[in-house]
Amino acid sequence: MSKAKAIATPTRTKEILQKYGFSFKKSLGQNFLIDVNILENIVQHAGIDDQSGAIEIGPGIGALTEQLARHADRVVAFEIDQRLVPILDDTLAAYDNVSVVNQDILKADVRNVIEQHFEHGQSLKVVANLPYYITTPILMKLLMERLPVENITVMIQKEVADRMAAEPNTKSYGSLSIAVQYYTEAKVVMNVPKTVFMPQPNVDSSVLQLKLRDEPPVIVEDEEFFFEVVQATFGQRRKTLMNNLSRHLKGKIDKAELRAKLEAAGIDPGRRGESLSMEEFAALANAIYEA
């Protein structure tokens, strides 16, 4: 297929939408990409080659799917909107290495789909232009299920990408940064203007790459409690660790004991959550957990 025929151009996108009388559903956060160069860049950043299996979420009319199909061994795309399934059958008819799964990714048994569609041990990458309103739940599901995936390369709202990749002592750093970086190494690989989407969103986008870790970077006594402590320390950003934690742990541990635990972990109770590294959060959570 010649590049001129790519789905991701304004003309071709409009043709496809008109042919099917397709109207965008605001509730599904549908914004289709209309720039082939950006899609090719995303595929390149994801490290997709003819040995790779690619998992896509929200293929829309197949703009990114088409580029993945050209480079990957196999592509499986999860699409929640039933109206798009016949459109995808048409736009991707030239590719026999694509399967569309008409399911909500948040409810899907992704591990089972992987077993059905990919070779055992095949190099798997997730690549997607994610709907903004549901980015975090989708990514956290993929990470917490510890799927056999090497990396996740996603187009998301710039502000959320910045938060996920943020370092301590920055405005963007918070509990989401810790949650994502506990499972992955996170990096913003490119910024994308709103003009390359149809319809145009109100915000700018970034492509975030998450490289999955074999092991978390810290050892914690209890994962659930670790994340609970992290969230509590960011409860009110301007308040100190001591204030946020004593409020959250009221009735479980008294202030004097909490202060002693913080000091035993080598952490000044007067600090704020945004100044703590992941290692310090782990030391803090482990000290309190043993209380």
Could you tell me which residues are annotated as the binding site for S-adenosyl-L-methionine?
31, 33, 58, 79, 104, 129
Which residues line the annotated binding site?
31, 33, 58, 79, 104, 129
Phi, psi of 259, deg, nearest 5: -60, -45
Q: Which of 171, 158, 136, 163 is nearest to 207 (CA)?
A: 158
Both structure tokens of 58: 């929200």
- CA separation for the pair 274, 255 (Å, rounded): 21
